[in-house]
Structure 1
Amino acid sequence: MARRRVTHEGTLVLDCEGLSKFVDDHPSIVALVAEARSRGMEAVISALTLIEAAHRRMNKSRLAWLLSGMRIVHVGEEEAKAASSMLIAAELHGHKYAIDAVVAEMAIRQPRPVVMLTSDIDDMKKLCGDRVRLVAV
């Protein structure tokens, strides 16, 4: 049997806070993800977001279940270089912004339209500009 090709109508990116609230079953985040999926958007996270969001009390079973329905985007050398360039262009530096830059770089490469659920609107605006619609969580 031939495998059916899935096409997506845009991308929903979750940053650390978006993923954490999704795992915690926060009603507004669950509703936003459900709405995005109903519109054909694919939910994605950066591999670094998974690391950033991890903590001892996190519901690991729920996390695993939610991740099974999301695409995890890996970070390689080219992505790291591009994120570094974005930091410089935004006049940001240091570990405080490193993961944000990786998430922003990943977001701008996704199929449009791109919407990001983030708690860091100001920094993400500096990094993404108008290429990604930012939604505060």
Structure 2
Amino acid sequence: MANRKLSHEGTLVLDCEGLAKLIEDHENTVSMVAGARSRGMEVVINALTIVEATHRRSNHARLAWLLSGMRISPVGDKEAKAASALLLDTGLHGHKYAIDAIVAEMAMRQQRPVVLVTSDIDDMTKLCGDRVRLVGL
């Protein structure tokens, strides 16, 4: 799964559940990622998604291999402040929605069109509005 440079036709973003299903070799998720890549979409995850999706039973070798083919978006001061502002704008609390806000903020900065694969359609709709196409798992 080399990180090929294709003509950039948008971005596929995975949240925690999307990454977890990819690690587990979930057929629909693997097909979705393969299809996006075949259309020239870049696959992106947020650095915090790695932390959120990792546990003792994770297949760490598969995770490392999958990550080698994705762009991992870092979280710094600028991104944290933007996600905090997003929480304020939507009236949500960081205690419950911190990582969702980070992922949503990152997704909205990506090359369009952006598709966010998520298990949390309701919360991501609140955070992203209509700026990102959401696909439920």
**Normalising TM by the smaller chain, what interval?**
over 0.9
Pair 1:35–1:99, CA change in 2 (3 A): same
Counterpart of 1:34 in structure 2 is 34
Letter in 2 for 1:68: S
SS of the residue corresponding to residue 69 of structure 1 reads coil
What's the Cα RMSD here?
Answer: 1.2
For 1:80-124, what per-residue CA distance to the aligned partner results, in whole angstroms no more than 9, with x for missing partners?
000001011111003210000000000000000000110010010
For 1:47-83, what per-residue CA distance to the aligned partner results, in whole angstroms no more than 9, with x for missing partners?
0000000100000010011000000000110110000
Q: How much does 1:6 deviate?
A: 4.6
Q: Is the contact made by 2:6 and 2:40 (CA closer than 8 Å) also made in structure 1?
A: no
Scaled by the length of structure 2, the TM-score of the pair is 0.95
Counterpart of 1:11 in structure 2 is 11
Counterpart of 1:133 in structure 2 is 133
Letter in 2 for 1:9: E
Scaled by the length of structure 1, the TM-score of the pair is 0.95
Q: How much does 1:8 deviate?
A: 1.4
List, as ranges, runs of 4+ consecutive aligned residues in structure 1 with deviation greater than 4 Å.
Answer: none
Runs of at least 5 residues in structure 2 that lack an aligned partner in the other structure: none
After superposition, residues 57-68 of structure 1 pair within 5 angstroms as: 57-68=57-68
Q: How much does 1:133 deviate?
A: 0.3
Counterpart CA distance in 2 for 1:64 and 1:118 is: 21
Q: How much does 1:7 deviate?
A: 3.5
Counterpart of 2:50 in structure 1 is 50
Q: How much does 1:5 deviate?
A: 6.1
Counterpart CA distance in 1 for 2:60 and 2:95 is: 26
Counterpart CA distance in 1 for 2:25 and 2:90 is: 33
Q: Do residues 90 (structure 1) and 59 (structure 2) align?
A: no
Letter in 1 for 2:132: V
Percent of residue pairs bearing the same amino acid type: 71
Counterpart CA distance in 2 for 1:83 and 1:94 is: 9
